[in-house]
Amino acid sequence: MKIRIGEWQIRSFRPGDVDSIVKYGNNPNVSLQLTDRFPYPYTKEDAEAWIDFAGAQEPETLFALADDKELIGGIGLIPQEDVYSRSAMLGYWLGEPFWNLGIATQAVRAIVDWAFEELDLIRIFAFVFESNTASVKVLEKNGFTLEGTMRRAVFKRGRLMDQALYAVLIDEVEREGEET
């Protein structure tokens, strides 16, 4: 899979991404806003395991964010099961040198469009830890609505935090060529 977004792209992970995942992922400022599934420190072995895990997903839903040289982050969906089978959880991260360039906003737009097109989904949701203003902006700019706050749901680095639940439905996404 490959979606080009200007000079960046969303693409499948490659074995050669290990070093860039470690270079950009091994940063406490990145992992602070993520579950402990994204560890700190982030080792080569963690990166190898993640690439294997992503490659084993059927359908493929976990991708690299990259420029033409290297991986610069990750974005993906975890399809839900049981009665939640028409929903998927969205997650993303970007290496700190690439923050505030609008990359995540564009990448979320692209992956949401792709997911509603390719997967049999009605709803895409994301959890955001309190005070992750950048991520809230990314989601709101892409039509996600705040549905609620999960009070003190998160215990991260010794601190309890609230977690916001944001979601967008398929009929809330503007499609190219559609009248607004």
Ligand X SMILES: CC(C)(COP(=O)(O)OP(=O)(O)OC[C@H]1O[C@@H](n2cnc3c(N)ncnc32)[C@H](O)[C@@H]1OP(=O)(O)O)[C@@H](O)C(=O)NCCC(=O)NCCS
Positions that interact with ligand X (CB under 6 A): 30, 33-34, 92-94, 99-105, 126, 128, 132-135, 137-138
Of 83 and 133, CB closest to ligand X: 133
Closest approach of ligand X to the CB of residue 103, in Å: 4
When the beta carbons of 116 and 144 are compared against ligand X, the nearer one is: 144
Strands (E), the chain: 2-5, 8-11, 62-66, 71-79, 87-94, 123-129, 145-156, 159-169
Q: How far is the CB of 179 from ligand X (least distance, A)?
A: 26
For the bound state, the minimum distance from the C-beta of residue 8 to ligand X, rounded and expressed in Å, comes to 10
DSSP H helical ranges for the chain? 18-25, 28-31, 44-55, 103-118, 133-140
**Nearest to ligand X of 58, 142 (CB atom):** 142
123/89 Cα distance (integer angstroms): 9
| Residue number, 75 or 121, with CB nearest to ligand X | 75
Complex with ligand X: residue 15 or 97, whichever CB lies closer: 97
Phi, psi at residue 28, to the nearest 5°?
-60, -25
Q: How far is CA 12 from CA 17, 62, 66, 84, 158, in A?
A: 10, 7, 10, 25, 34
**Closest approach of Cβ 43 to ligand X, in Å?**
18
**What's the closest the beta carbon of residue 90 comes to ligand X, in angstroms?**
8
Residues 40, 31: contact at Cβ < 8 Å?
yes
